[in-house]
């Protein structure tokens, strides 16, 4: 399951969505808003997305992970809107009978989400300037 959310992410619900009694491993990745980027001080971030396209590509990535790794369940969510330093921007949870597959699938998921899902990030810097950046480098969509 992949989703885009305008509300703060509920880590307990995301983790609960992957729990399965047949699994001995649950891995997670939590992407937080940091206070700097490429030598510049960041005040806050703003994420935007094309929700229909983003969720469609996100679901495709989740299906690829389910087909490619020995995992039982996986869930990922990317937040959009204005986020403060320390806010959770993206989360990925994976369960598997064994840890290796859970770690490998989790890495595949976050790397693929960052590379392929049409999400844009606007960084607001402490000097009062801001910049739109494509989160997915291959995107040819606006901003």
Instruction: Look at the chain and report how many structural domains it folds into.
Output: 1
| Inside any domain, residue 118 | yes
Domain span at residue 54 reads 2-134
| Inside any domain, residue 111 | yes
| Inside any domain, residue 22 | yes
* Of 98, 86, 83, 80, the residue nearest 24 (C-alpha): 98
| Inside any domain, residue 80 | yes
Q: What is the CATH number of the domain that holds 71?
A: 3.90.1170.40
| Inside any domain, residue 142 | no
| Inside any domain, residue 141 | no
Pure H helices in 34-98: 51-68
Total-model pTM: 0.91
| Inside any domain, residue 143 | no
Helix axes 51-68, 99-116, angle to 10 degrees: 150
Phi-psi region of 81 (alpha: psi -120 to 50; beta: other; left: phi over 0): left
| Inside any domain, residue 91 | yes
CB 82 within 8 A of CB 8: no
Per residue in 71-126, pLDDT tens?
Answer: 999 999 999 999 999 999 999 999 999 999 999 999 999 999 999 999 999 999 99
Per residue in 41-53, pLDDT tens?
Answer: 999 999 999 999 9
């Amino acid at each position: 399951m992949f989703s885009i959310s305008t509300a703060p992410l509920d880590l307990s619900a995301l983790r609960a969505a992957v729990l399965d009694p047949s699994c001995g491993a649950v891995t997670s990745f939590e992407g937080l808003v940091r206070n700097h980027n490429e030598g510049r001080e960041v005040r806050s971030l703003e994420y935007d997305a094309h929700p229909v396209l983003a969720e469609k590509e996100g679901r495709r990535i989740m299906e690829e992970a389910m087909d490619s790794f020995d995992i039982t369940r996986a869930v990922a969510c990317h937040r959009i809107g204005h986020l403060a330093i320390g806010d959770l921007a993206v989360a990925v949870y994976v369960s598997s009978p064994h840890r290796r597959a859970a770690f490998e699938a989790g890495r595949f998921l976050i790397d693929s989400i960052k590379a392929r899902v049409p999400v844009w990030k606007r960084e607001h810097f402490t000097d009062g300037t801001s910049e739109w950046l494509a989160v997915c480098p291959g995107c040819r969509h606006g901003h």
